[in-house]
Amino acid sequence: MTEQDGEPAAAARTRVQVEDAGAVRLLTLDGPRSRNAVGPEVYREVQARIVDAGTDPAVRAIVLTGAGGFFSSGGNVLALRDSAEGTLAQATAKTDGLNAMIKAIVDGPVPVIAAVEGGAAGAGASLALACDLIVAAEGATFTAAYVRVGLSPDGGITHFLRDALPRQLVMEMCLLGRPMPAARLAQAGVVNLLAADGAVLQAAMELAGTLASGPPNAIRRIRELVNAAPRNGLADHQEAEARAINLARFGAEAKEGLSAFLDKRRPDFSGL
């Protein structure tokens, strides 16, 4: 969370910069004066960019990062305080926007990698945790310090954390509000790759390049199955897996992949 007190709104506002590197789309939260704070405008912008990437066949992977050596400080505390002067409906609309952004990342057809330099806090941590893979700096931290300002977490952060971590570790993060080192989360399996400070974006782009060269329909099905697994019973999930693989075996991706394996060559999924 960030305060942003006394700064002109235009100067403090975080923008979403877009850049394509081959089949990888890079989305950068750019608001260094606020450490890339997020709010309703950012929620809508990121959601729109994710949805747009999902409809563009040239985009096969997304990297989400923050400018200025920090991923995102989360919500603007000044705005949160002032929101109490509005209505519950207005406050709900803002959290609905946050949730819609998170849902777009999880449900979209394109895999998303978070490249976390410095730290990710509050809604910024929710944003990083919603991504399929996380590359973090060795010195980065993840923080859920809502309790310090008398609030409870939002944006799905307790869902993502509890899905991956022991209950007591999630309680430590949320009840005490202490920054959690990325190295500790890497040991727990939440962070996929640690990189040297300053080298995170390069590592994330390389990982995204690997995804971008893979079979897009198979990757989409894998993401759907992994995300659905916690809410499915075994029989239902086996049925979903069987349906996915049996449809896939007749497709161009499986034809190329299996032929390449038998021919002892690298598969070429470009153009599929």
Q: Which CATH architecture has domain 216-263?
A: Orthogonal Bundle (1.10)
Res. 211: pLDDT tops 90: yes
CATH superfamily for 9-212 is 2-enoyl-CoA Hydratase; Chain A, domain 1 (3.90.226.10)
Residue 114 DSSP one-character state = E
What pLDDT does residue 12 have?
Answer: 67
Query: Helices 123-130 and 88-107 sit at what angle, rounded to 10 degrees?
Result: 20
Res. 44: pLDDT tops 80: yes
Res. 7: pLDDT tops 50: no
Pinpoint the alpha helices (H) of the chain: 9-12, 40-54, 77-82, 88-107, 123-130, 157-164, 167-176, 182-187, 200-212, 216-228, 234-248, 252-263
* Fold match between domain 9-212 and domain 216-263: no
Band of residue 4 on the pLDDT scale cut at 50, 70, 90: very low
Band of residue 272 on the pLDDT scale cut at 50, 70, 90: confident
Res. 1: pLDDT tops 70: no
Region 232-254: what's the mean pLDDT?
Answer: 96
What pLDDT does residue 76 have?
Answer: 80
Region 28-43: what's the mean pLDDT?
Answer: 95
- Domains in the chain: boundaries: 9-212, 216-263
What pLDDT does residue 208 have?
Answer: 98
- Which percentage of the chain shows pLDDT scores above 70? 96
Band of residue 2 on the pLDDT scale cut at 50, 70, 90: low
- Amino acid (one-letter) located at 225: L
- Which percentage of the chain shows pLDDT scores above 90? 86
Residue that wins the pLDDT comparison between 27 and 149: 27
What's the length of the chain?
A: 272
Region 24-29: what's the mean pLDDT?
Answer: 98
What pLDDT does residue 85 have?
Answer: 78
Res. 229: pLDDT tops 70: yes
Pinpoint the alpha helices (H) of 108-215: 123-130, 157-164, 167-176, 182-187, 200-212
Band of residue 83 on the pLDDT scale cut at 50, 70, 90: confident
Tokens of 17: 């910069």
Q: Which of 84-93, 139-148, 181-190 has the lowest mean pLDDT?
A: 84-93
Tokens of 154: 């939002």
Tens-place pLDDT, residues 138-159: 999 999 999 999 999 999 999 9
Q: What is the mean pLDDT of the chain?
A: 93
